[in-house]
A and B are shown apart, each in its own frame.
Chain A
């Protein structure tokens, strides 16, 4: 295994891989696409991208012989799951009624069963949950790096992250950050096993500067 950070992005024919590659390019970080289990041998950090339906995604992981390889990689490598990739870290998803990677405990449930809206799309602020492991805190920034006395205009420097999803993970054991979807529904915005597996329901690669900060901090760990 390489001793320096080497980033791979799961590529099974779906997910907004190009957007993640673009964010990494802006950070001057090279990445490779992980198509097969052999590709995992050369990387230290793995990003599981978002955008897709869970049933199709899990089928493609299995078709590409990546299902068990990813579970095995979780034993030593660092993983960041984004949106669909984040949900795939959990045990079971009601989207497609399928078993997922089972790296974190919990189930993925449809938003519409708990609130009036069927899809959550937009920018939301997230909140830290009590007793977040320090390591996670260093990775998921709540505040923008730019201080208030630096004159920057625009939303892109606010601590907001871009969400787009119709399924969610209820707040559970691994939840580190939450977001309030409506007055009745609080969802998991980010989670971690506290060691090497991280997931964000939001899209850091689409969340302007603060999102790139998160990716950068994940890679530097």
Chain B
């Protein structure tokens, strides 16, 4: 109880972060990283999100991850319509890519845990933009009650356990750590909150973000997030969560897609 009270008094409240998943310049939602559903034009959706209780938006460009080409034109348009923090993930393979994104006015870059150049990139980007501008997205899947790093390129678990990965990671070079449970993504079955009890998570001082399985409880989710999940820095959910829980008439045409 005391911890809860201190948390609510002093620390920043948990952030609600919407993910905008982009494939070939269009917005999608994903189901377990295996199937995708088209939801609309990303600029329109970002405009709608700006009218909701969204603290930040994480733009994930899946096509940039596979093609290694950044959609600069779209990203600059997205930056122009958002008056809240924007983070980006997808296709960051070098410090030059990171430079391009930051020059567009983005506030943070998320690197992928399976990025082969991760140690080098962490050092280069944090030296130039500071650790607050750098986050790490860790996709994991659960197998026999153990969590393993998930490799989206081969669409299966790597042999690397989450605890081993975090043990070798230089967490002092980055800020947000985003843990995405692949098994729960898009299924709205609830967050994998048990990860917070793991020893290898408890020793990390970085802001912890959870993703995968967040389900809308209407306005209650948005209003009472502090009480529902004390001790977590933020939650990442598909943009559809926010759009579906809204009641504005402006959403009527969009809700057909969800």
Contacts and interface: CB of A to CB of B under 8 A. Distances in A.
Given A14-B102, A166-B175, A116 B13 contact: no
Contacts of B103: 13, 17-18
Interface in B61-94: 76, 79-86
B15 A122 contact: yes
B126 A53 contact: yes
A26 interface: yes
Nearest to A118: B205
Interface stretch (A34-42, A129-137, A202-210): A202-210
A159 B9 CA distance: 15
Interface stretch (B19-27, B48-56, B114-122): B48-56
Interface stretch (B29-37, B127-135, B146-154): B127-135
Nearest to B129: A52
A26 B81 CA distance: 9
Contacts of B231: none
Contact of A19 (B51, B107, B207): B107
B213 interface: no
A3 to B, nearest CB: 30
Given A18-B76, A154-B52, A164-B132, A121 B104 contact: no
A16 interface: yes
Contacts of A16: 102, 105-107
B28 to A, nearest CB: 25
B79 to A, nearest CB: 5
Interface residues of B, number: 45
B215 to A, nearest CB: 20
Contact of B82 (A22, A124, A164, A183): A22
Contacts of A183: 6, 9-10
Contact of A53 (B11, B82, B128): B128
A119 B132 contact: yes
B133 A120 contact: no
A21 B83 CA distance: 11
Interface in A205-221: 205-206, 208-209, 211-212
B164 interface: no
Nearest to B105: A18
Interface in A119-154: 119-124, 154
B139 interface: no
Given A18-B103, A164-B133, A165-B130, 7 more contacts: A22-B83, A53-B128, A112-B205, A122-B15, A123-B13, A123-B55, A155-B55
Interface of A: 13-14, 16-23, 25-26, 51-56, 84, 95, 112, 116-124, 154-156, 162-166, 180-183, 203, 205-206, 208-209, 211-212
26 contacts: A14-B102, A16-B107, A18-B76, A18-B79, A18-B80, A19-B86, A21-B105, A22-B81, A51-B107, A53-B126, A53-B127, A55-B127, A117-B11, A121-B15, A122-B11, A122-B14, A123-B15, A164-B108, A164-B175, A165-B132, A166-B131, A166-B132, A180-B10, A181-B10, A206-B85, A209-B83
